[in-house]
């Protein structure tokens, strides 16, 4: 195994669904040793969520699970048993980071609060990711991505003004919270390794999503108004062309002038009604109509390149299928094929960033409990008899 | 001041707009000393984008002020050889260089990683252009909205009867967050081996990792997720429902049969909840329009917080759609102390969102507001580079440093600017 940036780092992963697993996926793909602890029998609930190949549900072939758990090892452990909790404490020895995203009462309820864990492993960095954080009146509230969007303020201003607020189609809040988990875990580890101590990190998914639009509360405080839900209108746009959609954001005068050149209508530059950005926004419906009629019959990629020749920030808006054909992705080899004994050979999104000297490497996701033997007998030194007994008792 | 995780890490930051500055803001939050470089010839454009058309409008950009806290701000004209020389002196005493220009910019200045590494062999450099440092699109220009557009996210987002939708802003801060993670990964490697490295981060590639589910669905079954508004592909009800009052909404998401039973209890078990068309998840998905209409009859009689409490009280995931004004006084947010009230020169005292994670031993706070233009040039050049007053004066005379932007010709009164912005974008809170 070649040296990777996080080689030597040990992570105990108690996470499930999206936010926690995405956090530990990042750590694992850059080289950390991540041992994922799953419930015997069913494992991470994401294993039971689709998509499945051929729509045949199988806990070993969920696309969501396979993607979010690359490069990890899986062991099973029943944390609802006293013996399971004791084994978890043994697993904690020698670990640098533990990540969990249970609801806030679960870990303390199991007797696994940070104070207890710290006694077992004083240098431990513990990351807890939860919907609303470990404290506060909403700490026990249930939430999905959509509820979090509403709470964060972002939902209110997304969508058309005369319709209901609209969430984006991917679980953005959970990915964002996962990244904050990785950022704070690595920062706390750096602090510890530079002579500090371990610590507990409380990540609130709701607060993390709010930081994706950190200036709107400030706009309200400085200018006294709340931004209106406004859809996507000039100087923004996602507009149809012959074979798909193109999108743009053209905030400056230079952009406006280049757009007029692209549209082969340089006379618009001197049109007094379109002189300033504010005036153009006031007449955005007119301008949009001009662009829409120009786009008719033109191909996405041709428009994209022609616009970029003029240094216009205009791009194609690919659908999921078109993503795979994008020359930039092909040239950089972004998508990677990973083989899995049950899921088969599939194409996955690749590295989120590339390091000059150390590799990103996504190994396939583990089967449920695949590494029980390696971890319990190898790392913890359990005898074959004890291992068999634990299996029999349903602990592992 | 208590200790911070990245104390002693110095970042020389040329990032502009939002994605790069967000990356370095997060690292600054965590304790790194970030020296942000602008010039009087070329302000960070985020000062313009969110700024006001007033004489000091470049200091009033909420977007800039929200993305540059905890940093030191200097001006340095990198188009001038002396500016680049000073930049290199900073690189020599720094740990990390960050940039999010399109790749040709740093190349034209001769400030590539290979060149800078000769000055500082342990250097880490985060380079995060829209499309990455290689490939046929490397020099193409993008803003955050473009990155969101090419990520594939908009085509699976939107009202079922409409076109692709986007937030228009999420890609910038999310790519910035990824950039900060990338720096920490590289810093961990340097801590262990002493070796620095170049990070080539394509913002497009970073954000496309959020598309795992829909991409796997296509790869496995050749299906593309349809635009389905706020609905969920496998559970119902799942939506945003109108409440009492103007433009008031509650989110309700039911994910299991057990949760549906609790939902029925919370709304008082009216007869329709027992009808066969809502019997199980599959039926509810099929009759989602009818279901939404009936749920709205219940929600529209209630305040959004009242609806949330009734539903959360029995364990159903529900919550208010808060405006940015309401967030500031939300009791949960208040109890966690998420917002911090900070005084900044020019703009005065306002609440800013804090760091969204609590670190038990090294709490993260806003120690400094976003810098005014060139605010810390003198401090950085004298204290860190040992320059004399005379040298500083000469740099100012040659317009290599300064505090007044060139070519800023706006003259509108602040009140008029605010009222115009409000007409265009806003409404009363």
User: Does residue B34 sit at the A interface (CB-CB below 8 Å)?
Assistant: no
Do A47 and A19 touch, CB atoms closer than 8 A?
A: no
**CATH superfamily of domain region B238-323:** formyl-coa transferase, domain 3 (3.30.1540.10)
Q: Is A128 on the interface with B (CB under 8 A)?
A: no
Instruction: Give contacts of B187 with chain A, Cβ < 8 Å.
Output: 186, 190
- Residue A228: its pLDDT value, please? 84
Q: Which of residues 323-342 of B touch A (CB under 8 A)?
A: 323-328, 331-333, 335-336, 338-339
Contact at CB, A63 and B173, closer than 8 angstroms: no
Q: pLDDT tens-digit profile of B70-123?
A: 999 999 999 999 999 999 999 999 999 999 998 999 999 999 999 999 999 999
Residues of B in contact with A214 (CB under 8 A): 66-67, 173, 352-353
CB–CB of B43/B405 below 8 Å?
yes
Contact B306, B312 (CB under 8 A): no
Cβ distance of A164 and B135 shorter than 8 Å: no
pLDDT at B427 over 80: no
- Give residue for tokens 């704070």: A184
Could B251 and A245 be called an inter-chain contact, meaning their C-beta atoms sit closer than 8 Å? no
Coil/strand/helix, residue B371? coil
Tell me whether A183 touches chain B (CB under 8 Å).
yes
**Which residue among B62, B206, B219 sits closest to A352, beta carbon to beta carbon?**
B206
pLDDT, tens digit, for every residue of B170-219? 999 999 999 999 999 999 999 999 999 999 999 999 999 999 999 999 99
Identity of the residue in B318, B356, B420 whose CB atom sits nearest the CB atom of A210: B356
Determine the average pLDDT of the residues in B139-145.
Answer: 93
Smallest CA–CA distance, residue A358 to chain B, in Å, is 8
Cα separation values, A345 from A56, A340, A342, A351, Å: 16, 6, 9, 18
Q: Which of A137, A182, A249 sits opposite B145 (nearest CB)?
A: A249
Choose from A174, A221, A252, A259 for mutation: most chain B CBs within 10 A. Answer: A221
Give the number of A-B residue pairs with CB atoms closer than 8 Å: 512
Question: H helices within chain A, ranges in order?
Answer: 19-29, 63-68, 82-92, 106-109, 114-120, 145-152, 172-193, 205-210, 216-223, 253-262, 277-282, 284-295, 300-309, 320-323, 327-332, 372, 384-392
Handedness of CA B391, B394, B400, B401 (dihedral sign): positive
Q: How far is B272 from chain A (nearest CA, A)?
A: 24
**Interchain contact, A331 vs B136, CB within 8 Å:** yes
A347 touches chain B (CB under 8 A): yes
Residues in B 162-181 with any Cβ partner in A closer than 8 A: 162-170, 173-174, 177-181
A254 touches chain B (CB under 8 A): no
What is the residue extent of each domain of chain A? 10-212+334-392, 236-321
CB contact under 8 A, B205 and A315: no
Task: Assess A359–B contact: CB distance below 8 Å, yes or no.
Answer: no
A62 touches A49 (CB < 8 A): yes
Cβ contacts (< 8 Å) between B336 and chain A: which residues?
133, 135-136, 204, 207
pLDDT confidence of residue B429: 61
Q: What pTM did the predictor assign? A: 0.97
Per-residue confidence (pLDDT) for residue B1, from 0 to 100: 53
For residue B100, the chain A residues in CB contact (below 8 A) are: none
> Where along chain B do the CATH 3.30.1540.10 domains lie?
238-323
Contact A5 B335 (CB under 8 A): no
**B residues 387-406 closer than 8 Å to A (CB):** none
pLDDT value of position B423: 82
CA torsion sign for B110, B112, B114, B119 is positive
What part of A 40-99 touches B (C-beta under 8 Å)? 49-55, 63-64, 66-68
CB distance from A277 to chain B under 8 Å? no
Q: Pick from A9, A49, A51 the residue to mutate for testing the B interface (most B CBs within 10 Å).
A: A51
| Signed CA dihedral, A271, A272, A275, A279: sign only | negative
What are the b/e assignments for B13-23, b being 16+ CB within 10 Å? bbbbbbbbbbb
* Average pLDDT score over chain B: 96
- How many other C-beta atoms are found inside a 10 Å radius of the C-beta of residue B146? 25
Q: Which of A222, A264, A11, A1 is nearest to A125 (CA)?
A: A11
Q: Under an 8 A CB cutoff, do A114 and B331 touch?
A: no
Please tell me which residue in B44, B172, B292, B376 is annotated as part of the active site: B172
List CB contacts of B107: < 8 A, sequence separation 6 or more.
none
Q: What separation in angstroms does the CA of A205 have from each of A20, B114, B353?
A: 11, 39, 14
CATH of A236-321, one of 3.30.1540.10, 2.60.120.10, 3.20.20.70, 3.20.20.60: 3.30.1540.10
CA B273 to chain A, closest CA, distance in angstroms equals 22
A10-212+334-392 is classed in which CATH architecture? 3-Layer(aba) Sandwich (3.40)
List, in sequence order, every residue forming a beta bridge with A347; answer none if it has no partner.
A337
Most B CBs within 10 Å, among A55, A134, A156, to test the B interface: A156
Decide if B71 contacts B375 (C-beta within 8 A): no
**Residue A226, pLDDT score:** 86
Percent of chain B with pLDDT over 90: 94
Nearest to B358 among A6, A141, A201 (CB): A201
Contact residues on chain B for A53, CB-CB shorter than 8 A: 220-221
pLDDT tens-digit profile, chain A (396 residues): 568 999 999 999 999 999 999 999 999 999 999 999 999 999 999 999 989 999 999 999 999 999 999 999 999 999 999 999 999 999 999 999 999 999 999 999 999 999 999 999 999 999 999 999 999 999 999 999 999 999 999 999 999 999 999 999 989 999 999 999 999 999 999 999 999 999 999 999 999 999 999 889 999 999 888 888 888 888 899 999 999 999 999 988 899 999 999 999 999 999 999 998 888 988 999 999 999 999 999 999 999 999 999 999 999 999 999 999 999 999 999 999 999 999 999 999 999 999 999 999 999 999 999 999 999 999 999 999 999 999 999 999
Instruction: Note whether A346 contacts B163, CB cutoff 8 Å.
Output: no
With CA atoms as reference, the chain B residue closest to A207 would be B356
- List where CATH 3.40.50.10540 sits in chain B: 10-201+336-425
Superfamily of domain covering B10-201+336-425: Crotonobetainyl-coa:carnitine coa-transferase; domain 1 (3.40.50.10540)
For residue B47, the distance in angstroms to the closest alpha carbon of chain A comes to: 12
- Are B15 and B100 in contact by the 8 Å Cβ rule? The answer is yes
Q: Which of 307-346 (A) contact B at CB < 8 A? A: 308, 311-321, 323, 326-329, 331-332, 334, 346
Cβ burial of B411 (10 Å; 0-12, 13-18, 19+) is: exposed
Suggest the residue from B8, B69, B145, B304 to mutate for an interface test with chain A (most A CBs closer than 10 A).
B145
CA nearest neighbour of A349 among B129, B89, B209: B209
Residue B1 burial by Cβ neighbours in a 10 Å radius (0-12, 13-18, 19+):
exposed
Contact B216 A328 (CB under 8 A): no
| Active-site residue flag, B330 | no
Plot region of B39 (φ>0 → left; ψ -120 to 50 → alpha; else → beta): beta
pLDDT of B22 above 90:
yes
Which of B5, B136, B361 is closest, CB to CB, to A190? Answer: B5
Give the model confidence (pLDDT) of B344-397 as tens digits. Answer: 999 999 999 999 999 999 999 999 999 999 999 999 999 999 999 999 999 999
């Amino acid at each position: 195994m070649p040296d990777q940036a996080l080689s030597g780092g040990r992570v105990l992963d108690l996470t499930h669904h999206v936010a926690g697993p995405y956090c530990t996926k990042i750590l694992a793909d850059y080289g950390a040793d991540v041992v994922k602890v799953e419930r015997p029998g069913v494992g991470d609930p994401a294993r039971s969520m689709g998509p499945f190949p051929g729509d045949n549900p199988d806990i070993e072939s969920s696309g969501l699970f396979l993607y979010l758990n690359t490069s990890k090892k899986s062991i099973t452990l029943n944390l609802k048993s006293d013996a399971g909790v004791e084994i978890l404490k043994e697993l904690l020895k020698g670990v640098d980071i533990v990540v969990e995203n249970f609801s806030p009462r679960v870990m303390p309820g199991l007797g696994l609060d940070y104070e207890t864990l710290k006694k077992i492993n004083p240098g431990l960095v513990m990351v807890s990711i939860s919907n609303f954080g470990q404290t506060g009146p909403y700490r026990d509230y249930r939430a999905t991505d959509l509820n979090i969007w509403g709470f964060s303020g972002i939902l209110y201003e997304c969508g058309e003004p005369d319709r209901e607020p609209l969430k984006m189609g991917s679980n953005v809040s959970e990915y964002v919270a996962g990244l904050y988990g990785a950022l704070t875990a690595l920062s706390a580890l750096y602090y510890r390794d530079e002579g500090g101590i371990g610590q507990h990190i409380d990540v609130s998914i709701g607060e993390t999503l709010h930081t994706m639009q950190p200036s709107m509360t400030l706009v309200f405080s400085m200018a006294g108004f709340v931004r209106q839900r406004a859809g996507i209108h000039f100087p923004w746009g996602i507009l149809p062309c012959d074979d798909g959609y193109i999108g743009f954001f053209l905030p400056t005068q230079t952009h406006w002038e280049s757009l007029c050149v692209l549209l082969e209508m340089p006379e618009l530059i001197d049109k007094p009604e379109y002189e300033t950005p504010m005036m153009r926004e006031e007449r955005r419906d007119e301008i949009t109509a001009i662009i829409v009629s120009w786009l008719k019959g033109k191909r996405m990629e041709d428009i994209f390149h022609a616009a970029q020749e003029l240094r216009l920030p205009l791009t194609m808006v690919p659908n999921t299928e078109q993503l795979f054909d994008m020359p930039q992705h092909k040239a950089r080899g972004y998508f990677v094929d990973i083989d899995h004994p049950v899921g088969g050979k599939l194409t996955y999104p690749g590295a989120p960033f590339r390091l000059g000297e150390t590799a990103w490497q996504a190994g396939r996701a583990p089967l449920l409990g695949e590494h029980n033997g390696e971890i319990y007998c190898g790392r913890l030194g359990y005898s074959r008899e004890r291992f068999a007994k634990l299996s029999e008792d349903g602990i592992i | 001041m208590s200790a911070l995780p990245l104390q002693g890490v110095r970042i020389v930051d040329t990032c502009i707009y939002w994605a790069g500055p967000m990356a370095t803001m997060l690292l600054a939050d965590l304790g790194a000393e970030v020296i942000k470089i602008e010039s009087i010839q070329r302000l960070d454009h985020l000062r313009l984008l969110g700024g006001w058309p007033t004489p000091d409008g470049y200091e009033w950009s909420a977007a800039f002020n929200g993305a540059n806290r905890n940093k030191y701000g200097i001006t340095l004209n990198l188009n001038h050889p002396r500016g680049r020389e000073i930049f290199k002196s900073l690189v020599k005493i720094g740990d990390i260089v960050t940039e999010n220009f399109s790749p040709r910019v740093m190349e034209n200045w001769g400030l590539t990683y290979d060149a800078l590494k000769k000055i500082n062999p342990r250097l880490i450099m985060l380079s995060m252009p829209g499309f990455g440092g290689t490939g046929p699109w490397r020099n193409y220009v993008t803003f955050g909205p473009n990155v969101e557009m090419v990520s594939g996210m908009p085509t699976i987002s939107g009202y079922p009867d409409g076109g692709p939708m986007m937030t228009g802003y999420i890609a910038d801060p999310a790519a910035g967050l990824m950039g900060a993670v990338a720096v920490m990964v590289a810093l961990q490697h340097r801590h262990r081996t002493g070796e620095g490295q170049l990070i080539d981060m394509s913002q497009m590639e970073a954000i496309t990792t959020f598309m795992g589910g829909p991409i796997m669905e296509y790869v496995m079954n050749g299906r593309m997720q349809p635009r389905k508004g706020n609905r969920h592909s496998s559970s119902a009800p799942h939506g945003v429902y109108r409440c009492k009052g103007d433009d008031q909404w509650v989110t309700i998401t039911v994910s299991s049969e057990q949760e549906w039973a609790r939902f029925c209890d919370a709304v008082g078990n009216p007869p329709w909840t027992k009808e066969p068309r809502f019997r199980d998840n599959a039926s509810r998905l099929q009759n989602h329009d009818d279901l939404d209409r009936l749920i709205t009859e219940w929600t529209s009689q209630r305040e959004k917080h009242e609806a949330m409490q009734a539903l959360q009280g029995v364990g159903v995931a529900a919550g208010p759609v808060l405006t940015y004004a309401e967030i500031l006084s939300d009791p949960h947010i208040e109890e966690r102390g998420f917002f911090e009230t900070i005084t900044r020169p020019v703009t005065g005292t306002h609440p800013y969102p804090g760091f969204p994670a609590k670190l038990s031993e090294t709490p993260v706070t806003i120690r400094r507001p976003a810098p005014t233009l060139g605010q810390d040039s003198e401090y950085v050049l004298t204290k860190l580079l040992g320059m004399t007053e005379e040298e500083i004066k000469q740099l100012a005379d040659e317009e290599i440093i300064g505090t007044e932007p060139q070519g800023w010709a706006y003259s509108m009164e602040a009140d008029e600017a605010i009222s115009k912005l409000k007409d265009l974008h806003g409404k009363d809170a």
